[in-house]
Structure 1
């Protein structure tokens, strides 16, 4: 078995607990985040000299289903080909047969996810929220106009990441929900029914499900409240979503322009504008096309 703590010769050097097959990426023991099937660790890219994120999926979660595992592998590989400044970059993907894990290295954002960042910064102007929203839409436009079209399927504020020093926002956890959604434990793995468009439950949907989720993200950004937090079970959320009952948080949006824009995004599938349409909306007229700068 390979040594688990290479590249360290003195006590002051933080040891890697694992290194990728090429020797380029080293994983530290500290977690950046964890989900039902994936753990994300702090990692270091020795070639570029930068910190990165080491994503590790335990494949036994997928009931040793080789078709599902191969599909997961191929979808994550697809991420490597996606190059867009509004999408978290994926640098490397490999399967570790010895530990039965799928590993992939992604870029890391300095300020973590948008949900935590927004909670930390309670006083943020509408203009700043519009800047963040516009960048999310730029990322969705890239995915939705990709050939073939890529649907995120699980967009929410915990998988939108931010570099707070420059106000730059990026979409993460891409392609993963697509696979997880097909597994038998989808209800527990996806874990964000509050953001799921009604038609997702019917399994007959288009990329417009991401526009709905984006609308719910904007609602959370504005109110700092997870949509449907008045519900105490997934069954109750499901009932409200599928019968067209909007979350109570929508009543807390005081700005009529913001409320109207969210309403557009969470309307009936055929009535929802595309990401490209939304980017042309007068809602963004005060947000310049330059890269967002620091707030204030």
Structure 2
């Protein structure tokens, strides 16, 4: 005789589970534990009762941005975009809804067990070049998916704080697509957005393509091998900007002792026309020792 289905409790305090709240369907329960927080959203640990897996509950207080429609529109764009993307190296989105009573935008995403790559590197300070290559290759696979997507998607804010890690498997995934641009057949975008230390010079000129993500990857690899945020010697965005547009390398480049790594970073941060695509870089000899 088949088991009778039971309705999940709508009250967070019912059912013995210590949830702060449940989603409207009763499938996802949010705990009070914060996984991270930023300028726009808080991310809580949560649980998918149907699948029996931990997930991330992203919560945005829309009232904080009631006068700034550009932020609200950007958040809606991120969610809409994420729902269309299916790739092993892109954070997956499972559900989204707006809570009218609390004026929150909530969305449930995949969670990576070890947080972001920047924090992960702080915990594990001795990492071989082979591990860096494995991470870089996976990020490139995610970028190749975005850049060859129809329409083309430029991330525009790739850095080690929005690359996420499953430390038990070594898998990394690109997240935080809130600044991503869908550029279509022209592959050209025209707004200045991103994290200054990782922004390609052409981004400041407001005329760029998906190659800005390749530049950012180069800066991410630089951070992976030196444990330093690029241009940390600069104490203002203006100073970073001046160095970037004048082609002055971050001081941390002098700390890269492996010539192969330095050469690969150089390819990533070359002038736009000389910068290889994600597909080209995946064929680079730099990854010869890394199995598919």
Structure 2 counterpart of 1:6, from 12, 24, 28:
12
The 5-angstrom pairing of residues 193-272 of structure 1 reads 193-272=196-275
Contact 2:74 2:179 in 1 (8 A): no
- Partner SS, residue 206 of structure 1: coil
Provide the secondary structure at the position in 1 that maps to 2:180. Answer: helix
Deviations 1:2-52 (A, max 9, x none): x99624355xx4x21121121111111111001011110111111111110
User: SS at 1:51's partner residue?
Assistant: strand
Counterpart residue number, 1:137: 140
Superposed CA deviations along residues 131-164 of structure 1, whole A, max 9, x for unmatched, are 1110000000000000000111111111111111
Aligned partners of 2:244, 2:66: CA distance in 1, in Å? 30
- The equivalent position to 2:131 in structure 1, one of 128, 150, 156, is 128
- Distance, in Å, in 1 between the alignment partners of 2:38 and 2:13 is 29
Aligned mate of 1:178, from 172, 177, 180: 180
Alignment check: 8 A CA contact 2:56 2:110 kept: yes
Q: For residue 182 of structure 1, what is the aligned residue in structure 2? A: none
* Residue correspondences, number: 274
**Runs of at least 5 residues in structure 1 that lack an aligned partner in the other structure:** 180-185, 290-296
Deviations 1:216-267 (A, max 9, x none): 0000001111100111111211111122111001111011111011011011
- Written as runs of structure 1 = structure 2, the 5 A alignment for 1:8-87 is 8=14, 10=16, 13=17, 15-66=18-69, 69-70=72-73, 72-87=75-90
Aligned-residue Cα RMSD (Å) equals: 2.0
Structure 1 pair 128–6 and aligned structure 2 pair: CA distance change class (3 A)? same
CA offset digits 1:108-143 (Å, max 9, x no partner): 111111111112111111111101110000000000
Q: Point out 4+ residue stretches in structure 1 off by more than 6 angstroms.
A: none
Q: Is 1:158 matched up with 2:161?
A: yes
Q: Distance in 2 between matches of 1:97 and 1:209?
A: 37
Structure 1 pair 64–178 and aligned structure 2 pair: CA distance change class (3 A)? farther
TM-score normalised by length of structure 2: 0.88
With the length of structure 1 as denominator, give the TM-score of the two structures: 0.87
